Structure formats: structure tokens, C-alpha cells
Amino acid sequence: MAKKQAAKVVVKKKRWVHVIAPKLFNEKQIGEMHVEEPKNAVGRKLSVSMTTITGEPKKQNIMAKFLITSFAGEKLMTDIIGYKLNTAATKRLMRRNRSKIDDSIVYKTSDDKKVRIKPLLVTRGRAQGGTKSALRKQIKEYLAKNISKMTFEQLMKDIINKKLQRAISDALKKTYPVAGCEIRNIELILPKK
């Protein structure tokens, strides 16, 4: 009787490679990934807390989204594709007798990238329907005017540093007192493959 040969088990070894942030964050290491080959990780997305990247505890409620674009040796290079505020942080903004105004709008930056922005505005008092509509319209106009002049990287830098949120808040204070202005979510709309 012939002996049965055991099928060979091919074991592919995985290794840890460093994930590097884009130039916007001074090419800091934001994590590690366990992969067989670094080229297999290209195209993957990952989310990292802003506290991990910047070292600022105040930014623990913000998640930055990255896309792995290339690899160089044992390093995976990324591009920023989004920013998201945790739902707990948005809930903390709301109080009794305040109005919440949020929206979802798509804009084009000066470097021809489409972005979906979800601004969130909280008023100091309970606003009427007409006032809410006026504020929503002003937010759209302000963002349309300013985002068309910025590159995507500049836009992300301004949002992370809260520069854009303060500017929106200052522009809307003339219409109605504003308690808080945040960008709840921003996402780069990637072309479909």
C-alpha cells in the first residue's frame, strides 16, 4: 500500500511595518501594521486619535482618517482623507433651550478635490425656524466662498487647528448668538475604482 503524502503547509511570515503620517503632521509614526508584504497594505484605511498624533489631550475626541498610499522599505506612507468628531463630544455641546443646526454639503477645493463637510452649530438660545434657515444658508455661503480658495491640505490644517470653526462662529454671531461651532465630519470623496 502506498503511503499518503501530507500536503505541504506554506507558512508566510508576517512582519511589523511602521505607518507614517503625511507632511502635515511632520511625518510622525502613527502606528504599526502586521503584513506579509508592505505593498499589500497600499489602499487600506485607518483611523487614529488626534491625541496620538499631536500629543494634545484636548484633541482626544477627534479621529483622523488616513489612506495608505505607498511604501518605502519598512515604512507605509499615508495621506489624510478625513476628520471625525466623536458623538459624545457633539452631545456635550447641547444644553436645554438651545438649538442645533447641522448640515451635509459637498464642496470642491482649489486643488480640485471633492470634500463632504458636516458642520454643526449650537445657538445660545432656542432659535426660530427662520433664524435657523438663515444661519444654515450663511454657513453654506461662507464655506463655499472659503473652501474654493483653499487646497485640501490647507483646509484640513485649518480645521484641526480650529481656525475655520472660529471664523464661521465670528461670521454668524451678527445673525444670532452662537454657543459653539464645530466641523462634525469632513471626508475626502475618493474616485470609485
CB 175, CB 131: distance < 8 Å: yes
CA 106/CA 95 separation, integer angstroms: 29
CA 116/CA 147 separation, integer angstroms: 11
CA distance readout (Å), 70 to 23, 99, 134, 190? 14, 44, 45, 16
Whole-number pLDDT of residue 193: 66
Note the pLDDT tens digit of each residue in 17-43.
999 999 988 999 998 988 888 888 899
Note the pLDDT tens digit of each residue in 39-93.
888 999 999 999 988 888 988 999 999 999 999 888 999 999 999 999 888 888 8
Q: What is the mean pLDDT of residues 116-126?
A: 92
Whole-number pLDDT of residue 72: 87
pTM: 0.84
Domains of the chain: 15-83 (no CATH), 87-188 (3.30.479.30)
Q: Which residues pair with 152 in a beta bridge?
A: none
What percent of the chain stands above pLDDT 70? 98
Pull the grid cell for residue 106.
459637498
Residue 110 has phi, psi (to 5 degrees) of -70, -25
pLDDT band at 2 (very low <50, low <70, confident <90, very high): low
Pull the grid cell for residue 64.
483622523
pLDDT band at 101 (very low <50, low <70, confident <90, very high): very high
